[in-house]
Chains A and B, each alone.
Chain A
């Protein structure tokens, strides 16, 4: 399930589509990098490694979009001028889903959710636009994200859901007894 409501159908120019696509990836790079640091600081090295890997993957996607944009001048938008379906760009990790004891399963589920959000975002643009070139590129981006969704699903299959006590901490940071 994505965070893109059915009513979301913005009209983008080519430059606007490209800048939104690029910022999705750049914000994901930063977001995963920050999460890797957070996890490393609390000793969760396995998940930190996964977030680092995801950050690298997103950097690769950003480079690809930069290549596609080529010489097209991208608009400079204020953070609040981007037309995201939610509060943040679709691939930014929701901090509410983060826990210091989270497992690779949880990290990959978050990543899967982000890729699904990005796919729905580009599908909505492709379905709603009138400029054929924009439609075609939005569809291409949506298909890229579809592929990322499939990768995440394959990756996630290696990490089954942990048992219900995954967040049990024998020495919790909870209030004084």
Chain B
């Protein structure tokens, strides 16, 4: 494949031979489809993409893609993705995972990834539940969600990922819905091609532990406004919407992180000698 020729692969060419083991009907199948459509549309070669994930159902996604991938440890997808991007700035780095991985154990990393504004795209498949571990409430679960494992609900206010991302300095913020794979592909194209840290929350139903989410298709609707470059306006909009507005919310113009110090590694000491027993 010549480096000069544009890449003309089909979306299906970006799928690996490993078949997903998600539950039948899981929204993550459509996220996989949207992601392959997006990278095919941009014309990225598989060897130009790295998909990094944490732990959870959705974090299996690198295995199902035909590109570089790393299935990391719980909540640590963003530090891994940051390392990959800093070491290989030529790669398009996409970080992926779920709401438990990204907003609970990985919550602190989200804040700092937004703040650092490294040129990566973070895709969170949000189903408001820990699916892999059998249905515990996650940070985005509604306080009154009644289940066997949390009778009467947790009573705890949910995490608002889009507002947190805006407040922390993310340069692109959007919400998508897995049941709209073509619309989601468009949002992902926008996110991947926008410079800096892009955050995309994809509402992706868990049909096993949250069968009520089968109804999301009827609840989502396009956001009635165009994207803004004013973070405070975007925050106000997202704090007052119904949680089902779909579209790009915010496009910032902050310069992405560029490594300017420490680019040369100096070995002033002879480590071999120091560690010699």
Interface residues of A (CB under 8 A from B): 30, 34-35, 37-39, 41-42, 44, 78-80, 82, 84, 87-88, 94-100, 102, 173-177
**Which B residue sits closest to A92, measured CB to CB?**
B181
Q: Interface majority SS on B: helix, strand, loop or mixed?
A: loop
Query: What is the CA–CA distance of A177 and B135 in the complex, to the nearest angstrom?
Result: 11
Nearest CB of chain A from residue B61's CB, rounded to whole Å: 15
Q: Are A96 and B214 in contact (CB under 8 A)?
A: yes
In the bound complex, residues from chain B placing their C-beta under 8 Å from that of A175 are: 134-136, 147-149, 209
In the bound complex, residues from chain A placing their C-beta under 8 Å from that of B73 are: none
In the bound complex, residues from chain B placing their C-beta under 8 Å from that of A78 are: 41, 185-186, 189
Query: What is the CA–CA distance of A96 and B180 in the complex, to the nearest angstrom?
Result: 12
Residues in B19-50 with C-beta less than 8 Å from chain A: 19-27, 29-30, 37, 41
**Which B residue sits closest to A44, measured CB to CB?**
B24
Query: What is the CA–CA distance of A114 and B83 in the complex, to the nearest angstrom?
Result: 45
16 contacts between A and B (CB under 8 A): A37-B20, A38-B24, A78-B189, A79-B185, A80-B182, A80-B185, A84-B182, A87-B181, A87-B182, A88-B181, A88-B182, A95-B30, A96-B25, A96-B217, A97-B25, A176-B134
Interface residues of B (CB under 8 A from A): 11-12, 19-27, 29-30, 37, 41, 134-136, 147-149, 179-183, 185-186, 189, 205, 207-209, 214-215, 217
Query: What is the CA–CA distance of A42 and B135 in the complex, to the nearest angstrom?
Result: 19
Nearest CB of chain A from residue B4's CB, rounded to whole Å: 20
* Given known A-B contacts A78-B186, A80-B186, A99-B207, A39 and B24 have beta carbons under 8 A apart: yes
Q: Interface majority SS on A: helix, strand, loop or mixed?
A: loop
**Which A residue sits closest to B183, measured CB to CB?**
A80
Partner pick for A30 among B12, B148, B180, B215, CB 8 A cutoff: B12
* Given known A-B contacts A34-B29, A96-B25, A82 and B182 have beta carbons under 8 A apart: yes
B24, B30, B134, B214: which has the most chain A beta carbons within 10 Å?
A: B24
Query: What is the CA–CA distance of A176 and B29 in the complex, to the nearest angstrom?
Result: 25
In the bound complex, residues from chain B placing their C-beta under 8 Å from that of A173 are: 23, 134, 208-209
A42, A99, A177: which has the most chain B beta carbons within 10 Å?
A: A99
Query: What is the CA–CA distance of A34 and B19 in the complex, to the nearest angstrom?
Result: 9
Query: What is the CA–CA distance of A84 and B135 in the complex, to the nearest angstrom?
Result: 35
